[in-house]
Amino acid sequence: MNTPIAVTIAGSDSSGGAGIQADLKTFAALGVYGASVITALTAQNTQGVTAIHDVPADFIAAQIDAVFSDLDVGAVKLGMLSQVAAIEAVAAGLVRHRAKNIVLDPVMVATSGDRLLANDAIDALRRELIPRALIVTPNLPEAAALTGANLARNEREMEIQAREILTLGARNVLIKGGHGEGEEAVDLLIGQSEVVRLSAKRIATKNTHGTGCTLSSAIAAGLAKGRDLVSAVQEAKAYVTAAIAAAGTLQVGHGHGPLHHFFNQWAHDPEKWEPVFGKDYAQNKRSPS
């Protein structure tokens, strides 16, 4: 059986909670081999972004060529692409290697509120990448920015904005309601006809750093494993909800802490080690030292 492989093309988060680091953690937690193409370096922690160093477009292209010429990539997650040149290099690379199962997370603003996308790059994102995506995963502020509309206030307005993004060429849009209000966090998966409503109880926590990165990479992981899109999105939503719920068990930083990507693998109950490491390991965990 072939090893499922996904690649993340995104920015690096020096604190490990979002970006490339969150994507690779997600791939690993979900049983997918992860490769990466780094588009930008950020000096970042749970409290904010203090500096961004963009990777030159030709080096982004070189990374893409290195990965796709050797690895059988089953899915691609696109994250932080802050400059027009980077977007164009990525788009050309995806075409050059006939990339499939492209999940586009239109990263514009960090959890801390710091802007991650240049103004002129939004048009390039619409023009070069949205038409190549199997699915685009904007949150409410990102959907508003892509459509030039006000922030969606309800599910009807969410659907209207998602369908407008479809007109830009995307085959599917997952518009995320995490920035909304109410007891439920509702996302809508919208294709050319059907609407799939995904709901989870809203979790009161400040530990949401990297949520969008994690969701999009979890979808890519499912696609790399051969899941259909609806199943991949449903499983990704369940994974992220559990990772947010477990985030309070981590003590990382002084701001918006990260999700707990390895909530299952790090579980202290020895029974939960068995599916990961096998019965012998689980038995050793039970035995007194």
- Is-contact 112 49, C-beta < 8 A? yes
Where b means 16+ CB within 10 Å and e means fewer, 198-207 reads: bebebbeeeb
Identified catalytic residue from 211, 214, 222, 257: 211
Q: Known catalytic residue: 11?
A: no
Q: Known catalytic residue: 34?
A: no
Q: Known catalytic residue: 46?
A: no
Quote the CA–CA distance of 169 and 116 in Å, as a whole number.
23
Identified catalytic residue from 212, 214, 237, 257: 212
By three-state DSSP, how is residue 197 classified? strand
Identified catalytic residue from 19, 176, 178, 222: 176
Identified catalytic residue from 16, 210, 222, 257: 210
- Is-contact 229 134, C-beta < 8 A? yes
Identified catalytic residue from 26, 208, 214, 241: 208
Identified catalytic residue from 26, 93, 213, 237: 213
Q: Known catalytic residue: 8?
A: no
- Is-contact 156 162, C-beta < 8 A? no
Quote the CA–CA distance of 20 and 31 in Å, as a whole number.
17
Instruction: Write the burial class of residue 3 (CB in 10 Å: 0-12 exposed, 13-18 middle, 19+ buried).
Output: exposed
Q: Where are the beta strands (DSSP E) in 14-68?
A: 33-45, 48-54
Could you give phi then psi for residue 129, rounded to 5 degrees?
-110, -40
Q: Known catalytic residue: 176?
A: yes
DSSP state of 21: H
Q: Known catalytic residue: 208?
A: yes
Beta bridge partners of 201: 184
Beta bridge partners of 156: none
**Catalytic residue numbers?**
176, 208, 210-213
